């Protein structure tokens, strides 16, 4: 009986500790860090709303707010804000005034300024920039640094 209690207690402690070790939370509501329901190093797995500025490791599914910032790992889903800033990778749709992906981007960016280090998909905006692109840019100024139709081209640029 004593071993059973120890086993149950150990399993309970492990179950309680795993979410803390994983540093994941389903929802984050943020005014600006540190005034948020999740820590900056946490990954958000379902929904984040940022009244002013939100910063987390990654966000999956829906990211809404004025300034949405992710720092590490892959973020997926919908990023909808005035500024969407991903230091790492993003897959999905970014809708905003300024969209920046410092790593690999796959999907659709729509905004005044779109920037992606390595893009795969469609960039639609006034100014579109990609270091490398496998896809299409539509906008006033379109820049593909490597292997584009032209390095800079108005209205339409592509690389496949």
Split at pLDDT 50, 70, 90, the class of 16 is very low
pTM (predicted TM-score): 0.84
Residue whose C-alpha is closest to residue 75's, from 135, 67, 62, 66: 62
Residues 86-121 have pLDDT tens digits of 999 999 999 999 999 999 999 999 999 999 999 999
First to last CA, the chain: 67
Q: Where along the chain do its domains lie?
A: 24-159
Q: How far apart are CA 60 and CA 28, in angstroms?
A: 11
Cβ atoms of residues 126 and 141 within 8 Å: yes
Cβ atoms of residues 43 and 56 within 8 Å: yes
Residue whose C-alpha is closest to residue 92's, from 68, 81, 103, 108: 108
């Amino acid at each position: 009986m004593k071993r059973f209690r120890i086993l149950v207690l150990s399993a309970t402690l492990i179950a309680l500790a795993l979410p803390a070790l994983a540093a994941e939370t389903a929802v984050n509501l943020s005014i600006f860090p540190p005034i948020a329901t999740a820590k900056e190093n946490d990954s958000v797995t379902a929904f984040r709303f940022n009244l002013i500025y939100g910063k987390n490791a990654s966000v999956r599914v829906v990211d809404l707010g004025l300034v949405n910032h992710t720092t590490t790992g892959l973020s997926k889903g919908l990023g909808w804000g005035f500024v969407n800033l991903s230091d790492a990778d993003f897959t999905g749709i970014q809708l905003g005034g300024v969209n920046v992906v410092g790593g690999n981007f796959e999907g659709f960016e729509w905004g005044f300024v779109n920037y992606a280090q390595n893009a795969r998909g469609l960039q639609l905006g006034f100014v579109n920039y990609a270091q490398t692109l496998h896809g299409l840019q539509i906008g006033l100024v379109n820049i593909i640094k490597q292997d584009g139709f032209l390095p800079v081209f108005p209205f339409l640029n592509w690389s496949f």
